[in-house]
């Protein structure tokens, strides 16, 4: 399992800046699935910086690639990336989880750039499969990336979807697993062990690659080779750490969701990410 300390964070300036913004949002909202968002930061960063085709000024552009955050509770990282790319004003970030805000605790399609309302785990892959099939019917070349969690992979609908994607040979579909080895109340290995995870996806007809989910260069290389095999859907298993980049939060189940973040906790988070 990946493990990092404040002295050996291994994160570049952009990754640290993204986390710093996330801490500021949490300080304003005092609630959220913070640790789950931290594990997916580099995955979303590489997708939006280097992989996806989109137009932030025209979020409904038909030629865009589709990215679905099926593990919708990690939306804080998605919101930061969408604001960074200009889908909506950055000022909206400080309204996160307030009644008047478009940015709720799970993403909804009313947010510019959000492709599907997610949060009921297991649904995002089926939506992505529908989009990938639609691209084929429309003879369009857009791609679909669906990010799922490892706890979410307990859901039977994930594996029903996997069978369907393989049957239809959806090489325009890539499933990205944020494999942080934790879920809401403990280690995935203890709750419902997924191993051998790569072999499972292969047995369901997917071409599979694995990557350090926090190594930006490695993620770029891996995503640049999708589809992995023509005529087969792809699965990229990203080995991550829940709470990555903040030692106080890393692999601590109590940070899966916080409804009341204290001043002391905010101070500790701010110290961990440093000042702007």
The residues spanned by each domain of the chain are 13-273
Ranges of the chain whose pLDDT falls below 70 = 1-9, 275-276
* Torsion angles phi and psi, residue 138, rounded to 5: -85, -5
Dihedral (CA of 259, 107, 52, 232) sign: positive
Cβ-based burial of 137 (10 A; exposed 0-12, middle 13-18, buried ≥19): exposed
- Over residues 40-50, the pLDDT tens digits come to 999 999 999 99
Of the candidates 94, 74, 92, 76, the residue with the CA atom closest to the CA atom of residue 27: 94
Contact 151, 188 (CB under 8 A): yes
Q: Note the pTM of the prediction, 2 decimals.
A: 0.94
Question: In DSSP terms, which residues pair with 148 in a beta bridge?
Answer: 177
Give the architecture-level CATH label for domain 13-273: 3-Layer(aba) Sandwich (3.40)
- Over residues 143-190, the pLDDT tens digits come to 999 999 999 999 999 999 999 999 999 999 999 999 999 998 899 999
Three-state SS at 151: coil
Residue 10's pLDDT is 80
- Please tell me the distance from the alpha carbon of residue 212 to that of residue 15, in angstroms, as a whole number: 15
- Please tell me the distance from the alpha carbon of residue 243 to that of residue 251, in angstroms, as a whole number: 6
Residue 9's pLDDT is 55
- Non-local (6+) Cβ contacts of 9 within 8 A are 16, 245
């Amino acid at each position: 399992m990946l493990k990092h300390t404040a002295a050996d964070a291994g994160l570049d300036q952009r990754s640290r800046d993204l986390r710093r913004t996330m801490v500021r949002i949490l300080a304003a909202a005092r609630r959220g699935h913070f640790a789950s968002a931290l594990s997916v930061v580099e995955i979303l960063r590489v997708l939006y910086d280097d992989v996806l085709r989109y137009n932030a000024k025209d979020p409904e552009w038909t030629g865009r690639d589709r990215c679905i955050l099926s593990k919708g509770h990690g939306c804080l990282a998605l919101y930061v990336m969408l604001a960074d790319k200009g889908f909506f004003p950055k000022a909206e970030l400080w309204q996160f989880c307030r009644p008047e805000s478009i940015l709720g605790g799970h993403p909804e399609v009313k947010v510019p750039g959000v492709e599907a309302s997610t949060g009921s785990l297991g649904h995002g892959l089926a939506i992505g499969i529908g989009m990938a099939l639609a691209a084929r019917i429309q003879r369009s070349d857009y791609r679909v990336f669906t990010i799922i969690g490892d706890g979410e992979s307990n859901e039977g609908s994930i594996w029903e979807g996997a069978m369907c994607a393989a049957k239809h040979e959806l090489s325009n579909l890539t499933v990205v697993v944020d494999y942080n080895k934790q879920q809401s109340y403990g280690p995935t290995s203890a709750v419902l062990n997924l191993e051998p995870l790569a072999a499972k996806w292969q047995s369901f007809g997917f071409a599979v690659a694995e990557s350090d989910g926090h190594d930006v260069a490695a993620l770029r290389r891996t995503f640049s080779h999708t589809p992995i095999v023509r005529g087969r859907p792809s699965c990229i298993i990203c080995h991550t750490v829940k709470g990555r980049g903040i030692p106080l939060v890393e692999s601590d189940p109590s940070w899966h969701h916080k409804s009341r973040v204290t001043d002391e906790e905010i101070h500790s988070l701010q110290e961990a990410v440093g000042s702007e």
